[in-house]
Structure formats: structure tokens, C-alpha cells
Amino acid sequence: MTFHLVKRPTVEIITPPLFPHPARNFLASMLAKDIADLAPKTVLDAGAGILRTLHLFPPGSYTGVGLKMEELEEGLTDQADFIAKHGAPALIATDLNNDFRFLGTFDLVVCTGAAVYFDVRQDRRHPIRLPRHTS
């Protein structure tokens, strides 16, 4: 039997940290790498919150959806310098269970921690199934 050493993938950690918890910061760092590799032209951030990850996306590509208008407004204030340089993102305050087809299509859709707010059904064959939308 032959064993081959496999090099583990490495991810450069974002500094300063986006999140206080190291595991969430690691995931944000992985997201930043994936975004850089994909170079999306259009992005939907489902559960944008306070826009903590806005600066990870290409300028002009970002559409953020969040439930709480207060959080989106806080994010606009916190990201004022970035927005002044790169332009304001498109933001929508609404429930994530709504139909977003009116927004068109996106090259990348991310959900960094808001999946717990989706209305899901439990099923033995499919532990978590998102609601299906018909065209």
C-alpha cells in the first residue's frame, strides 16, 4: 500500500477580523478567496445584515437583502468610506422567504449566517428542504 502526502489547502485569514469568532472569520476568509477566484459580476447577499462582507465583493456587483432596515442602515453608516469610493450597493429590506425573481439572475448568491431564518420543512428523506418556487 502506498501513501501520498496531500498538501492541505491554505486560506489567508482576513485582517482585521470580520467576526469575533475565529471559525466565522475563517469562513469569511474562504468566502473572500472564492469571490476573488470567481470574479462575479452580480452578487446577491441573502441576509446582508450590517453589510459586514460588502467590501469582499467587486464594486457595483452587490445586492443585499436583509430583514431589518435598521441593520442595513447601520451597515451603510459603517461602510461609508467604502461606499464613497466604490458606490452604494443595492439594498432591499424584506423577508428572505419572498420571491426574488424580479431582481434577475446573479453570478453568485451567498448566505453568510442567515440560513436559519428560512422557512424549512423537515422530511425523513430530505432533512432540510427549502420551499420550491414555481415559475
Running along the chain, 135 residues long, what does each successive block of 10 average in pLDDT?
71 80 83 91 92 90 92 94 94 87 90 58 43 46
pLDDT at 48: 92
The per-residue pLDDT for range 76-102, each reduced to its tens digit, is 999 999 999 999 999 999 888 888 888
Identify the pLDDT of residue 85: 95
At residue 126, the pLDDT reads: 42
Q: Where are the domains of the chain?
A: 39-98+106-114
pLDDT at 100: 81
Contacts of 129 (CB under 8 A, 6+ apart): 120, 121, 123
Cis check: omega of the bond before 16, within 30 degrees of 0: yes
How far apart are alpha carbons 64 and 44 in whole angstroms?
6
For the domain spanning 39-98+106-114, the CATH number is: 3.40.50.150
pTM exceeds 0.85, yes or no: no
